[in-house]
Structure 1
């Protein structure tokens, strides 16, 4: 009888470990994707900003400064748009990952519930047989 309980416990532990490993894998994939998206946006923003600063360093008169101001505003606007776009992509990827994790958890819970119900029904049937024999 102990062997049966040990086997059930070992099977449940393996199932839990497998689910945890899959959840960790999904979470790490999402973190990698998020990090890559944010790093690419940071790179583009830094490149645009440093390019603008290089142009600003070459300005020698007031007319050059007047033409530089609209470029600076445009670069700032594009940088903000990039940050917002990446934020939306990150949010979408995170939502998809969380949905996948929730589905995995739901599947695990349904599986554990079904096993528990089967075992309870088996115990009820065994108890019923035992009571009828008496």
Structure 2
């Protein structure tokens, strides 16, 4: 009886460790995707800003300022749109990851429930019949 209990605890511990390993893997994949996405966005916007600043430094008169003003507005608009787009992608990745984690939890709980049901059925079969009164 104790050996069955020990085997059951060992099986649940293994199941828990496997599930934790999968959760960690999913979380790290999501973190990597988000970091990569944000880094690419930052790099893109930094390059665009550097190009604009180098052009703006060449302005020497009011006419040059009038010519570069629409480019500054365009840069600000593009940057805001890109940041919004990136935040939407990050949000989408978060949703996909949470759905994957939910599915993992569902399958883990289902497997654990099935194991418990099988163990309960095995104990019922192994238990001696109650004496009749």
| TM-score computed with the length of structure 1 as normaliser | 0.92
Structure 1 residue ranges, 4+ long, deviating more than 4 angstroms after superposition: none
How many pairs align?
133
Aligned partner of residue 27 in structure 2, secondary structure: helix
**Structure 2: stretches of 5+ with no match in the other structure:** none
Per-residue CA shift, 1:21-51, capped at 9, x if unaligned? 0010000000000000000000011111111
**Structure 1: stretches of 5+ with no match in the other structure:** none
1:38 matches 2:38: yes
1:78 & 1:37 partners in 2: Cα distance? 17
Offset, 1:130: 2.3
1:49 matches 2:49: yes
1:14 matches 2:18: no
Offset, 1:2: 1.4
Offset, 1:131: 0.7
Offset, 1:132: 4.6
| TM-score computed with the length of structure 2 as normaliser | 0.92
Offset, 1:79: 0.8
Per-residue CA shift, 1:78-114, capped at 9, x if unaligned? 1111111111111111111111111000111111112
1:97 matches 2:75: no
1:1-134 → structure 2 map (5 Å cutoff): 1-127=1-127, 129-132=128-131
The structure carrying a bigger helix percent of its residues is: 1
